[in-house]
Amino acid sequence: MTEDRGEAGRSGSSGDEPLSDLFWSVTRQLREASNEGLAPWDITPAQLRALRVLKHHETLRLSELSDHLHIAARSTTEVVDALESRGLVQRRPDPSDRRATLVELTEHGASVLDAIRAARGTEAERVFGRLSSTDRAHLARILRKLRN
């Protein structure tokens, strides 16, 4: 992933490693680094996603959080239970519907999320720091194009 076009070819034994293989290899490295980076906080990727969603939306019903996380309600309950037991989120009744429960980030949860973001930023810099600023801009443009 340097400016030298031959770099991708040299990384495989045949010299013609498919783009998908290269992409998934880097994805695995990033996922492993991410999981290692979460270890000090004993946070799972699903829990981190929940914290991020709650930071963005402030307060959500459990059903809305499930929708945002694209996971089953039962799984969302497990994620929230784990976060609540550590004081990272809190539940409260929904004043407009007594059958519903609202979930929100606590101050402690926000500070843990900030610390994780800082640590992950450092890790991202370590990984992407090997690229020139031009390569980073090209990669960001390509990834945005593939995402959409």
pLDDT above 90 (res 6): no
SS3 (DSSP) at 16: coil
Is the pLDDT score of 3 beyond 70? no
Q: HSE on the CB side for 106, CA within 13 Å?
A: 14
Report the pLDDT averaged over residues 112-137.
90
In what side-by-side order are the strands of the sheet with 97-105? 59-61, 97-105, 89-94
Say which residue the tokens 């519907």 belong to. Answer: 97
Cα first-last separation, the chain? 22
Q: Compute the chain's Rg from CA coordinates.
A: 19
C-alpha–C-alpha distance, residues 67 and 14, integer Å: 44
CATH architecture of 17-147: Orthogonal Bundle (1.10)
Q: How confident is the model at residue 17 (pLDDT cuts 50, 70, 90)?
A: confident
Q: Which helix (H) or strand (E) holds 104?
A: strand 97-105
**Close Cβ partners of 85 (under 8 Å, ≥ 6 residues apart):** none
Q: What is the mean pLDDT of residues 120-131?
A: 86
pLDDT in tens, 97-106: 988 999 999 9
The answer, yes or no, to whether residue 2 has pLDDT greater than 50, is no
Contact assessment for residue 8 and residue 22, using Cβ atoms and an 8 Å cutoff: yes
Residue 145 confidence (pLDDT) above 60: yes
Q: Could you tell me the residue ranges of all domains in the chain?
A: 17-147
Mean pLDDT across the chain: 87
pLDDT computed for residue 123 by the predictor? 81
Angle of helix 107-128 versus helix 45-57 axis, rounded to 10: 120
pLDDT at 32: 86
Q: Greater confidence, 34 or 88?
A: 88
